[in-house]
Amino acid sequence: QTKLIAADKNIPVISTGDIFRKTAAESTELGKKVAGLINAGSFVPDEIVIEVVKNRLSKPDCANGFILDGFPRTLKQAEELEKWLASTGKKIDAAVVLDVEEKSIIQRLSSRKICKVCKKEYNTVTLPPKKDGICDLCGGELFQRADDTEDTVKHRLAVYKEQTRPLIEYYKKKNIIIEIDGNRTVTAISSEIKSVL
């Protein structure tokens, strides 16, 4: 969805996952700090996440706007972002929430299977292989990623509920929340987001 909206508005998608990988590869002080944390498998603290995002949003391609993906994930991050944007004369115009039933999220992620040989992705519910456990393309064996197991997905959802979901209330109070029914096709969802924006 972020890619579709970004193309429509001609502004960049700022994905924190991508930034972290890129920042870690830079030989700056911040880059070394981030690489150290990632390599140690540590949680990246709010202060560093915020610093990295500010740094990215200061680049010229963000001058006419941007879409944030994967950030903010905590109230502290949202507050710091708002403060910093205000100091540069900017603000967040909209926060989009895609409502998908928890049952459906668990089912979508935990039914993903990948071919060991050619890496093609299947979904045992929505896109099953012709022969159970075997890749249609190369006959390779299908496997499940460790972070796609039902238990891990449930843990990721628990972290989301505790740390990220409070942001919906936060942005509701600022009257910029857009709630979208996410149980539909990609095209239906993106045309609704575009029309509301």
The contact set with Zn ion (CB under 5 A) reads 115, 117-118, 120, 135, 137-138, 140
Residue 74: name the closest of 49, 95, 42 by CA. Answer: 49
The C-alpha atoms of residue 136 and residue 148 are separated, in whole angstroms, by 21
Q: In angstroms, rounded to a whole number, what is the distance separating the alpha carbons of residues 94 and 105?
A: 24
Question: Considering the complex, what minimum distance in angstroms separates the CB of residue 117 from Zn ion?
Answer: 5
**What's the min distance (Å) between Cβ of 118 and Zn ion?**
3
Look up residue 118 and give its amino acid: C
Shorter beta-carbon distance to Zn ion: residue 7 or 118: 118
Nearer to Zn ion, 25 or 137 (CB): 137
Give 138 or 196: the residue with its C-beta nearer to Zn ion: 138
Give the whole-angstrom CA distance, residue 163 versus residue 178: 19
Cβ proximity to Zn ion: between 117 and 186 the closer is: 117
**CA pair distance 190, 172, nearest whole angstrom:** 21
Q: CA 37, CA 49: separation in Å to the nearest integer? A: 11
Report the nearest approach of Zn ion to the CB of residue 138 (Å). 4
- Nearest approach, Cβ of residue 186 and Zn ion (Å): 24
Backbone φ and ψ for 113, nearest 5 degrees, come out as -130, 145
